[in-house]
Amino acid sequence: MSSQPGYDALAELYAETFPSPFTNTLQRHAFGAFVDHIRDSGVRGAVVDVGCGPGLLTAELAARGFEVVGVDPSSEMLRIARSKHPGLRFICVDATLDAPELGGVTVAALLARFSLIHVPPDSVPEILAGWSERMAAGSTVLVAGQTSADDEIVEFDHRVAPAWRWHTNRMSAALADAGFAEEWRTLHGADADHRFPEFHLFARRR
Ligand SMILES: C[S@@+](CC[C@H](N)C(=O)[O-])C[C@H]1O[C@@H](n2cnc3c(N)ncnc32)[C@H](O)[C@@H]1O
């Protein structure tokens, strides 16, 4: 069983603070483009929402007709996700996807929004390699996180759990090493509600 004590403690507050999955317009459009790419890819299987939290994006994907699985290491986040979206499938596991319940799931696409930021950077290459192994050529990935300057990966004072900001080039290179080719990225500047610039990075399994 995975655990995420920081998010367990603040799960209710998190769900109340973020009633919408989108905190700016670009996030909505990046997600919309991802949805179109999944459809266009023609790859069959489930869309896995890695670090799904209260499941808002898992539900958005389900509403668009995809088979979905939300995964998160925080049992409290999943308790909220299950109560808000009783028809959907949620599994308690971290980004490794190392859970027996996922054994039979074919992964058509994978969304990791503001969740890989909580994985110690040394562990990320192995996690991406594991995703790649279970995905067919043409399948798609959207990763989002807070970004850093100057090609660095830097730990930052996230309020809930240890977290790292990745320069988008570094995340793109890590994805490429695991077999995913970047197709596009977005960058949203910091503002009153976002302390750091944020990237979305869309890549496809070669
Ligand atoms: C900032 S929330 C993002 C929730 C959702 N993905 C979104 O974009 O609205 C981060 C989530 O990542 C989860 N998380 C933390 N460590 C993780 C890990 N090692 N693997 C996967 N998810 C993790 C947390 O439990 C939390 O639900």
Please write the tens of the pLDDT for every residue from 141-172: 999 999 998 889 999 999 999 999 999 999 99
Q: How far is CA 123 from CA 36, 74, 78, 119, 126, in A?
A: 30, 19, 23, 7, 6
**CA nearest ligand 1 atom 24, residue:** 51
**CA nearest ligand 1 atom 26, residue:** 53
What pLDDT, on a 0 to 100 scale, did the predictor assign at position 2? 66
Q: Check which CATH number belongs to the domain holding 27 and give it.
A: 3.40.50.150
144: CA distance to ligand 1 center in Å?
11
DSSP letters of 17-69?
A: H-SSS-SSHHHHHHHHHHHHHHHHH---SEEEEET-TTSHHHHHHHHTT--EE
Residue 114: CB within 6 Å of ligand 1? yes
Residue 60: CB within 6 Å of ligand 1? no
What pLDDT, on a 0 to 100 scale, did the predictor assign at position 150? 86
- The whole domain housing 100 covers 5-205
**CA nearest ligand 1 atom 3, residue:** 114
13-19: long-range contacts at Cβ-Cβ below 8 A with a sequence spacing of 24 or more?
14/53, 14/54, 14/77, 14/160, 15/53, 15/54, 15/80, 15/84, 18/54, 18/56
53: CA distance to ligand 1 center in Å?
6
pTM above 0.95, yes or no: yes
What pLDDT, on a 0 to 100 scale, did the predictor assign at position 1? 56
5: CA distance to ligand 1 center in Å?
12
Looking at the structure of the chain, the number of domains it has is 1
What pLDDT, on a 0 to 100 scale, did the predictor assign at position 198? 97
Question: Which residues, given as ranges, of the chain have pLDDT below 50?
Answer: none
Residue 91: CB within 6 Å of ligand 1? no
What pLDDT, on a 0 to 100 scale, did the predictor assign at position 201? 98
Write the pLDDT tens digit of every residue in 178-204. 999 999 999 999 999 999 999 999 999
171: CA distance to ligand 1 center in Å?
17
